[in-house]
């Protein structure tokens, strides 16, 4: 069996030649996209996405989340037995080791407490590599809403959207409660089909500011608020808009203050902007290293508790955030809810932060799945994560 130590040996710091090849690939893709008039990264082929997803700041405007001077320490005690953990997909058995060899898997880390038990990277990925999170970011926009509630910038989750965004007053969205935005239960009609260029998410999934509010102001109610779950990227972008309006600042600065510096993230990261010097995309696209994905999971698992002993979140926030909503018992405040108290932040193309408080586990995944959702690869990494949890639970 290939040892984890050998796997890690393959992903030491990239050589100057590798960095030069990386830069050449970025430049070639930028030039080709410009000549073809292509800007939507979701519709690139697998090889091109592998370049773009690792370097989002080179393909779209972004705001920096600088590495902390005092990173939160993670011990490393690798558990070789995890490679042999078995899981089943469509009636066939596989091992975690076989998952790690799948081409879409860019990186996977398993933390028990503050200790790394498994850490794997694809040959062209390293511990320092950033990777776009897509909708994983939604869960942390929600977390920042919690921080703003504790700080007094937001008075109540039962405030309406128009309380913070008066330009939506008189629209169907204006009367929706902030709580229902977090639960994706506004009741407003929205099409989230990633493969349809005419869908709402394709037309306005990255809109922020006036462009966002202009678009959603025209959308109409399909259900009573709070009653029906409908996955809606615009509502996470709207949560980001509410956050920025409430705090009177940009979201990256608040994220940097509350989490990136305060908890201690190890590597530089970025947050995608809707336009140069514009607003962060609240529903998408923090690009961070695998270990910092895992640290973001620790922030949630610890209820926002910082190394200083202070919490950035109201008491009981994560319990509320992971309580099933009326519209869908598998969703909380932008967290997907699983069995036995586990929950995940999940993004298209196979990004994940899996948190199991009962087993003190965090599993972080970087992926380049062959499609946004619904592939066999998606089944594999999710089934493997569940099997890893079972492995620890059986001890």
CATH number, residue 330: 3.40.710.10
pLDDT at 17: 52
Task: Say how far apart CA 48 and CA 146 lie, in whole Å.
Answer: 36
- Is residue 104, in this structure, part of any structural domain at all? yes
| Final residue in a domain of this structure, among 193, 226, 246 | 246
| Final residue in a domain of this structure, among 246, 270, 297 | 246
Beta 115-121 vs 343-347: how paired, if at all? unpaired
Mean pLDDT of all residues in 194-200: 86
Give me 270's structure tokens. 């970025």
Of residues 116, 87, 99, the one with CA closest to residue 8: 116
The pTM assigned to this predicted structure is: 0.92
Those residues whose C-beta lies under 8 Å from the C-beta of residue 167, and which sit 6 or more positions away, are: 210, 213, 217
pLDDT at 335: 98
Q: How far is CA 248 from CA 153, 241, 351, in A?
A: 9, 10, 30
Give the model confidence (pLDDT) of 11-31 as tens digits: 344 555 556 668 999 999 999
Residues 115 and 232 in one domain: no
Residues 88 and 119 in one domain: yes
Mean pLDDT of all residues in 320-324: 97
SS3 135: coil
| Final residue in a domain of this structure, among 198, 226, 246 | 246
Q: Domain of 322?
A: 4-12+39-135+285-393
> How would you list the strands of the sheet with 336-337, edge to edge?
75-76, 115-121, 105-112, 361-367, 351-356, 343-347, 336-337
Residues 384 and 291 in one domain: yes
Residues 309 and 366 in one domain: yes
Mean pLDDT of all residues in 330-346: 97
Are 93 and 262 a contacting pair, CB within 8 Å? no
The total of other beta-carbon atoms located within 10 Å of residue 1's CB is 10
Task: Say how far apart CA 86 and CA 384 lie, in whole Å.
Answer: 7
Residues 337 and 230 in one domain: no
Residues 162 and 186 in one domain: yes
Give the model confidence (pLDDT) of 224-268 as tens digits: 999 999 999 899 999 999 999 999 999 999 999 999 999 999 999
pLDDT at 206: 78
- Is residue 33, in this structure, part of any structural domain at all? no
Residues 125 and 8 in one domain: yes
Residues 299 and 377 in one domain: yes
Measured over the CA atoms of residue 381, residue 382, residue 388 and residue 394, the dihedral's sign is negative
- Is residue 194, in this structure, part of any structural domain at all? yes
Those residues whose C-beta lies under 8 Å from the C-beta of residue 346, and which sit 6 or more positions away, are: 135, 136, 336, 352
Give the model confidence (pLDDT) of 65-122 as tens digits: 999 999 999 999 999 999 999 999 999 999 999 999 999 999 999 999 999 999 999 9
Number of domains in the chain: 2
- Is residue 25, in this structure, part of any structural domain at all? no
Residues 387 and 289 in one domain: yes
Residues 123 and 162 in one domain: no
Residues 366 and 339 in one domain: yes
The total of other beta-carbon atoms located within 10 Å of residue 33's CB is 17
Q: What is the mean pLDDT of the chain?
A: 93
- Is residue 30, in this structure, part of any structural domain at all? no
Residues 154 and 217 in one domain: yes
> Which one-letter DSSP state was computed for residue 395?
-
Q: How far is CA 394 from CA 144, 173, 337, in A?
A: 35, 47, 22
- Is residue 230, in this structure, part of any structural domain at all? yes
């Amino acid at each position: 069996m290939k040892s984890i130590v050998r796997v890690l040996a393959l992903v030491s710091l990239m050589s100057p030649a590798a960095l030069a090849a990386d830069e050449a690939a970025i430049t070639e893709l930028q030039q080709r996209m410009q000549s073809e008039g292509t800007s939507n990264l979701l519709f690139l082929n697998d090889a091109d996405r592998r370049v773009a997803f690792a370097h989002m700041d080179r393909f779209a405007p972004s705001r920096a989340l600088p590495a902390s001077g005092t990173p939160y320490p993670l011990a490393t005690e690798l558990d070789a037995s995890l490679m042999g953990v078995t899981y089943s997909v469509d009636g066939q058995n596989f091992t975690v080791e076989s998952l790690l060899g799948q081409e879409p898997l860019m990186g996977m880390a398993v933390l028990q407490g503050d200790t790394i038990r498994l850490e794997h990277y694809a040959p062209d990925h390293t511990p320092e590599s950033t990777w776009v999170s897509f909708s994983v970011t939604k869960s942390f926009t929600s977390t920042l809403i919690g921080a703003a509630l504790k700080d007094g910038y937001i008075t109540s989750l039962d405030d309406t959207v128009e309380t913070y965004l008066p330009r939506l007053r008189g629209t169907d969205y204006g009367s929706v409660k902030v709580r229902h935005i977090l639960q994706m239960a506004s009741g407003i009609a929205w099409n989230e089909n990633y493969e349809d260029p005419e869908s709402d998410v394709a037309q306005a999934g990255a809109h922020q500011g006036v462009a966002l509010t202009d678009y959603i102001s025209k959308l109409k109610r399909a259900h009573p608020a709070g009653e029906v779950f409908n996955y809606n990227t615009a509502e996470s972008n709207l949560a980001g808009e509410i956050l920025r309006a409430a705090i009177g600042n940009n979201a990256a600065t608040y994220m940097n203050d509350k989490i990136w510096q305060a908890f201690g993230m190890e590597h530089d990261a970025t947050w995608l902007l809707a336009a140069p010097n514009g607003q962060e995309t609240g529903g998408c696209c923090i690009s961070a290293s695998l270990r910092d994905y895992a640290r973001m999971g620790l922030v949630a698992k610890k209820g926002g508790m910082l190394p200083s002993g202070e919490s950035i979140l109201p008491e009981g926030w994560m319990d509320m955030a992971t309580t099933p909503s009326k519209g869908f018992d598998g969703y909380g405040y932008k967290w997907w809810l699983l069995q036995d108290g586990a929950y995940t932040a999940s993004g298209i193309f196979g990004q994940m932060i899996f948190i199991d408080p009962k087993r003190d586990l965090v599993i972080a995944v970087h992926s380049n799945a062959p499609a946004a959702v619904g592939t066999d690869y998606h089944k594999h990494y999710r089934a493997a994560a569940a099997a890893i949890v079972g492995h620890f639970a059986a001890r």
